[in-house]
Amino acid sequence: MCSRSSSSSSSRGSSIVVAEEVEVVVVVVVVVVVVVIVVVVVVVVVVVVVVVVVVVVVVVVVVVVVVVVVVVVVVVVVVVVVVLVVVVVVEVGVVVVVVAEVVEVVVVLLLLVVVVVVEEVVVVVVVVVVVVVVVVVVVVVVVVVVVVVVVVVEVVVVEVETAATTTTTAAVVVAVIEVLIVVCYVIS
C-alpha cells in the first residue's frame, strides 16, 4: 500500500514538472512568433511607405512634364497662328503649306505628350507590381514561419503528452490554441 501511494505521488509530481516545462516552451514560442510577425509587419510597412513615396515622386514628375509639354504646344500653336495670319496677309498661296506645317507640329507634340505619359504610367505600374510581389513574398514567409513554429509546438506537445496527465494535455492544447489565435489575429 505504502509503495503504491508513494509511486502515484511521484508520478503526479513529475506530471506537474512536465506541465510547467510545457507552459514555458509555449510561452517562449508565442513570444518568438509575435516578435517575428512584428518585425515582418514593420518591414512591410517600411517597404510600402518607400514605394508610395517613389510613386508620388513619379506622378509629380509626370504632371510637371505634361504641363511643360502642354505649355510648349500652346506657345507653338500661338506662334504658328500669328505666322499664319501674317502669311495670309502677305500671300494667300502659302496658307495651305503653313496650315499643313501647323497640323504636323501639333500632331508631333501631342504624340510626344502621349509617349511621355505612357512611359511614366508604365514606370508607375512596374513599381506597383514590384510592391505587390514584395508584399506577397513577405506574407508567404510569415505564413511559412508561423506554420513551422506551430508544427514544432505540436511536436513538443505530442512528446510531452505521453508523460503528462490529462489536465496537462488540456493545458497544452489550450496554450496551442491561444498561440494560433494570436497568430491569426496578428496576420489579419
Rounded to two decimals, the pTM is 0.43
Instruction: Sketch the domain layout of the chain as residue ranges.
Output: 15-187
Instruction: Kindly indicate the confidence band of residue 165, based on its pLDDT and cuts at 50, 70 and 90.
Output: low
Report DSSP letters for the chain, one per residue: -HHHHHHHHHHHHHHHHHHHHHHHHHHHHHHHHHHHHHHHHHHHHHHHHHHHHHHHHHHHHHHHHHHHHHHHHHHHHHHHHHHHHHHHHH-GGGHHHHHHHHHHHHHHHHHHHHHHHHHHHHHHHHHHHHHHHHHHHHHHHHHHHHHHHHHHHHHHHHHHHTTS-HHHHHHHHHHHHHHHHHHHHHH-
> Which has more confidence, 78 or 184?
78
Q: Are the C-beta atoms of 21 and 156 separated by less than 8 Å?
A: no
Tens digits of residue pLDDT in 65-91? 777 877 777 777 777 777 766 666 555
Distance between CA atoms of residues 121 and 144, nearest Å: 35
Distance between CA atoms of residues 188 and 185, nearest Å: 5
Tens digits of residue pLDDT in 99-143? 667 677 777 777 777 777 777 777 777 777 777 787 777 777 777
CB neighbours of residue 150 within 10 Å: 16
Instruction: Kindly indicate the confidence band of residue 1, based on its pLDDT and cuts at 50, 70 and 90.
Output: very low
Distance between CA atoms of residues 115 and 118, nearest Å: 5
